[in-house]
């Protein structure tokens, strides 16, 4: 079997395993990651954070909030991992926030700072309905400078 054929079969098997809806969510996550990366280069951060604080339109969910949070987290992390460029915490949080907000869920974006090896470093993490979605694994190490919430 040729290499390209093996790759195609492997991809088809993975699509069947995770389901078409999750594959589409991963594709949306990649689009939002790229949009966030571009926005962070050309739009003032204050403007991006003001977008984060806009009201969220309520929508009826077809799945539980916990399930949606997990699906979005998985989609963003997979898209970031396999993308041809690096996506750090901030674009990951913005992408996850956009996906959750599109489903009517409010999010809280935390922006923090810590001193590491004599330098100040920043980190963002995202929560939804009181649960961490992206970046929460190391949040304790950072002092919160701001919280940006859309309701």
Domain ranges of the chain: 3-149
Q: What's the per-residue H, E or C state across the chain?
A: CCHHHHHHHHHHHHHHHHCHHHHHHHHHHHHHHHHHHHHHHHCCHHHHHHHHCCCCCCCCCCCCHHHHHHHHHHHHHHHHHHCCCCCCHHHHHHHHHHHHHCCCCCEEEEEEEEEECCEEEEEEEEEECCEEEECHHHHHHCEEEEEEECC
- For the entire predicted model, the pTM comes to 0.87
- Per residue in 12-69, pLDDT (tens digit) is 777 678 788 899 999 999 999 999 999 999 999 999 999 988 988 888 888 899 999 9
Tens of pLDDT, residues 92-110: 999 999 999 999 999 999 9
pLDDT of amino acid 7: 67
Question: Tell me, what's the pLDDT at 111?
Answer: 95
User: Is the predicted pLDDT of residue 1 greater than 60, yes or no?
Assistant: no
What pLDDT is attached to residue 13? 75
């Amino acid at each position: 079997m040729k290499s390209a054929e093996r790759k195609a079969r492997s991809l088809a098997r993975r699509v069947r395993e995770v389901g078409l809806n999750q594959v589409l969510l991963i594709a949306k996550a990649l689009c939002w990651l790229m949009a966030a990366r571009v926005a962070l280069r050309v739009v003032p951060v204050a403007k991006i954070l003001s977008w984060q604080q806009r009201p969220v339109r309520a929508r009826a969910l077809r799945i539980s909030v916990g399930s949606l949070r997990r699906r979005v987290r998985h989609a963003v992390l997979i898209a970031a991992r396999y993308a041809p460029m690096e996506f750090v915490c901030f674009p990951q949080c913005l992408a996850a926030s956009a996906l959750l907000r599109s489903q009517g869920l409010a999010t809280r974006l935390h922006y923090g700072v810590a001193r590491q090896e004599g330098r100040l470093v920043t980190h963002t993490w995202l929560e939804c309905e009181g649960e961490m979605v992206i970046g929460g694994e190391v949040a304790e190490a950072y002092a919160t400078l701001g919280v940006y919430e859309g309701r």
